[in-house]
Amino acid sequence: MMEITVYQEELEDSMINLILSIQNGEFGIPVTIDEQPDLKAVNSFYQTGKGNFWVAVAEGEVVGTIGLKDIGENRAALRKMFVHPGWRGKQAGVAQQLLQTVFDWGEAASLTDIYLGTTDKFLAAHRFYEKNGFVRIKQTKLPATFPIMKVDTIFYHYTFVK
């Protein structure tokens, strides 16, 4: 059984282990926890303004994550969307449930836009975002307040329909 819940600090180690195992182990992206200080400060980085951070938890372990960073003017940056390999795919539905949680939150918070950056290695993620209404954009089209990570090379935009 899996449930989506708002991030709580007692899940920090499990959340960090999941993210680093996917970044470093699965995709060979040489990024450390020190280069991602937001992961040690979820409350102050994500859970402010119109932002938040959610985790998918199964048997006490984090199997999925998604963050929404308020970047001002009713816009947000989608970050840290990761799903454990054993919980991926349409049948498990974890990624879709995490993203739907963000969409529901965004509508309730009156967001107008969500932006995201990703690496060229996450090909399945590209298809997933596009299937869910995100449109690929050039980096020059990002708001100045968008927090770009050094590994981000591909960018997407989602507009809430009012």
User: In whole angstroms, what is the distance from residue 79 CA to residue 89 CA?
Assistant: 19
**Residue for token digits 């007692």?**
10
- Average pLDDT of the residues of the chain: 96
Place of tokens 């200080």: 37
Whose CA is closest to 74, among 111, 41, 99, 120?
111
Q: From CA 125, how far away is CA 9, in angstroms rounded?
A: 27
Percent of the chain with pLDDT over 70: 99
Query: DSSP string covering 45-62, please?
Result: HTSSTT-EEEEEEETTEE
CA 52 to each of CA 99, 102, 124, 130: distance values in angstroms, whole numbers, following the listed order: 12, 9, 24, 22
Mean pLDDT of the region 46-54: 98
Residues forming beta bridges with residue 134, ordered by sequence position: none
| DSSP-H helix ranges across 27-110 | 42-45, 94-108
The pLDDT value recorded for residue 150 is 86
- Compute the average pLDDT of residues 18-36: 94
At 161, is the pLDDT very low, low, confident or very high (cuts 50, 70, 90)? Answer: confident
pLDDT band at 79, cuts 50/70/90?
Answer: very high
| Residue boundaries of the structural domains of the chain | 2-113
Question: What is the pTM (predicted TM-score) of this model?
Answer: 0.96
Arch. (CATH architecture) of 2-113: 3-Layer(aba) Sandwich (3.40)
pLDDT digits (tens, 9 = 90+) for 80-138: 999 999 999 989 999 999 999 999 999 999 999 999 999 998 899 999 999 999 999 99
Mean pLDDT, to the nearest integer, of 70-80? Answer: 98
Instruction: Give start and end residues of each alpha helix (H) in the chain.
Output: 12-20, 42-45, 94-108, 123-131
Q: Give the mean model confidence (pLDDT) for residues 148-161.
A: 94
Q: What percentage of residues in the chain have a pLDDT greater than 90?
A: 91
3-17 pLDDT, tens digit each: 999 999 999 999 999
Contacts of 144 (CB under 8 A, 6+ apart): none
Residue 121 has what pLDDT? Answer: 87
